[in-house]
Amino acid sequence: MPTLRIALSQVNPTVGDLAGNAHLVRTWARRAADAGAHLVAFPEMMLTGYPVEDLVFRRSFVAASRAALDRLAADLAADGLGELPVVVGYLDADGPPQVSGDAEPGRGARNAAALLHRGAVVATYFKHHLPNYGVFDEDRYFVPGDMLTVVRVGGVDVALTICEDLWQAGGPFTAARQAHVGLVVNINGSPYELNKDDIRLPLVRRRAAEAGAAIAYVNMVGGQDELVFEGDSMIVSADGELLTRAPQFVEHLLVHDVELPAAGEPVAEGTEIADGMRVVRATVSESVPAPAGPPAVGGLIEPVADEAEVWQALVLGLRDYVNKNRFPSVVLGLSGGIDSAVVAALAVDALGPDRVVGVSLPSQHSSEHSREDAADLAKRTGLDYRIEPIQPMVDAFLANLSLSGVTVENLQARVRGVILMALSNQEGHLVLTTGNKSELAVGYSTLYGDSVGGFNPVKDVWKTLIWRLARWRNADAARRGETPPIPESSIGKPPSAELSPGQLDSDTLPEYDVLDPILIGYVDGDLGRDGLVAAGHDPAVVDRVLRMVDTAEYKRRQSAPGTKISMKAFGRDRRLPVTNRWREDG
C-alpha cells in the first residue's frame, strides 16, 4: 500500500485579505514541503477568508478571488513548491449571482476547492451540501456542485469535499465509495461551539465508513466577527481509527504518514454515481518517493475541560476582533463585579496588560468593597487603571432635569457610557461591554449605558458559566504558580448593579441558578412555556422570565457583537421580530 505524508494546515485567514491569505498558504506550504509532505490541505475559502457574506455578490470580489488563485499557483511554483499538491479553498463563480436579474439556473457563485500543482489549477470542486441553518446562509449565496472531483496523488485516488459535505449523509461521501477512492480530503470553516469536538470525531468516523476511505479533516482557526474557529483538525482511517488530531485554538501544521490503498481501475470521468453526482478526474502522480527519514506522527491532542475550552475560544475571538480590525487597545468599565472582572482578565490574556485600560467609574452608590475589588484586579493583571468619578456629572444632570427612580439609575449607567466612549474617541480604544447572556436575555441592561461598546467578549456566556470561568481561570493561574487575576471577593459577593442603595440583581431577577436553566431551555432549546413547566420549572417564574425575554428583543438588536460559544447565540443564530405579539402564555 502506498504511504502518503499528509499535511493539514490549520491556519488563521482574514476575510477579504486575499494577498495576506495567499502569503499564509505559501508560508505554510513551505513548512509542509520541508516536512516531506506529499499533499497539503488548507481550510475552506482559505483565499478569501470565511464567511464572506454579501461580498459574494460583488463580481469584483469574485474576480479577485479567481485571479488570486491563479497567481498563488504560479507563486508556489516560483517558490520551488510546484511539485507539492496544494488543496486550497476559494470563491469561484460560473455565472451571475443568483440575486441578479441575469441569473442562470444551476450557475452562480461557488464555494470551491482547488488543487494546485506545477504552477496551475489542475482540479476544482464545488461544495455539494450547502448549510442553511444557525449562522449559515449558504443557500443565499452559493449554487451547489454536482461533481465529485477525484485526483490521483502518489497512486492514491483522493476525493475533494468541503465542510457541510461531511455533516450530511449521502452526496459526496457515498459517491466517494462508488468511485473507490482511498482518501477524502475535507476542508472546513466549522465554527466553534462548546462540546462540538465531541460531535465532530464520531461524525468523521461515520463518513469514513460511508466512503470506505480515510478522511483528512482540516479546519481553520481564528476569530471572524462573532464566530471563532478552533481547528481540531484530524485524520481518521477507513475503519474509524483516529490517527492524529491537532490542538484547538492555535495555528498548527499536522503532518502524518498514512497507508492508503493503491488506486484501482478508475471510474470513468463523467460517470453518474450517487445522488446524481458525476465523477471528474485529474492525475498529479502515479507514485511518490517513500517518506524520507522516520515516520511522521502527528500525535493525538486530548480535549481540555469545558471551562478551558470556552476561555480559549473567548480569548481568541477577542484577540482577532481587535487585531484584525486594527484597534490599538481596549477600554472597559471596572465595577468590581464578576462580569467586568472576567472581561478584563480575558482582555489581558488576549492582548497583554499594556493594551487594556480599565476605568473605575464610582457613584455615590458604589460600595467601598467594589472600588477595592476593581483596584485589586488592576493590580493583579497589570492593566492601565484609571478612576473617573461620575457623581459630579450625574448631579449636573439632576440639577437641570426632574428625574427619579429607575430613570436616575439609568442616568448613572449612561454617564458611564459617555465617559468610556469619550476615552475611545480621544485615545483610539475599542470599548468592551461586559453584559453576560443572562442579562441580555432578560433585558437587564441600560440602553446606551452599560450596553455601550464595540464588542462584548461574554455576550454568549450565561451568568452561571461566568462564575465557573472565573474560578477556573484563577485555579489555572495558581496551578502555574501565577497570581490569580480575579479577586475572590468579586466571585463570592452577590451580584449588584449598585445604582441605588442596597441594590441586588435578585431584587429584579430570579436567582441565576434558577434563571439560567429557564433561559437555556427557551433561548437555546426553543422550548415553549409548556415544555419549560414540564421540565420542572415554576410556572409563575417561567411566565415572568419569558415576558422579560420577549420584550427585550429591541435591546438585543442594538447590542454589540460578541464571540459565539453556544449552539444558539443572540444575533445571526436567533432571529426574531422586534414587533411581535406572540407570547408563550397565549
Query: Which residues are designated catalytic?
Result: 44, 127, 163
Residues 513 and 465 sit within 8 Å (Cβ to Cβ): no
Instruction: Give me the phi and psi of 184, to 5 degrees please.
Output: -115, 120
Q: How far is CA 152 from CA 129, 159, 207, 326, 530, in A?
A: 23, 9, 20, 43, 56
DSSP string, 290-327: PPPSSPP---BPPP--HHHHHHHHHHHHHHHHHHHTT-
The whole-angstrom separation of Cα 179 and Cα 188 is 22
Based on DSSP, count helices (H) and strands (E) in the chain, helices before strands: 18, 19
The grid coordinates of residue 64 equal 479577485
Q: What angle, rounded to 10 degrees, do the helices at 306-324 and 463-479 form?
A: 100
The grid coordinates of residue 476 equal 489555572
The whole-angstrom distance between residue 299's C-alpha and the CA centroid of its chain comes to 24
Residues 46 and 27 sit within 8 Å (Cβ to Cβ): no
Burial of 102 (0-12, 13-18, 19+ CB in 10 A): exposed
Residues 420 and 359 sit within 8 Å (Cβ to Cβ): yes
Looking at residue 521, the DSSP 8-state letter turns out to be I
Residues 336 and 374 sit within 8 Å (Cβ to Cβ): yes
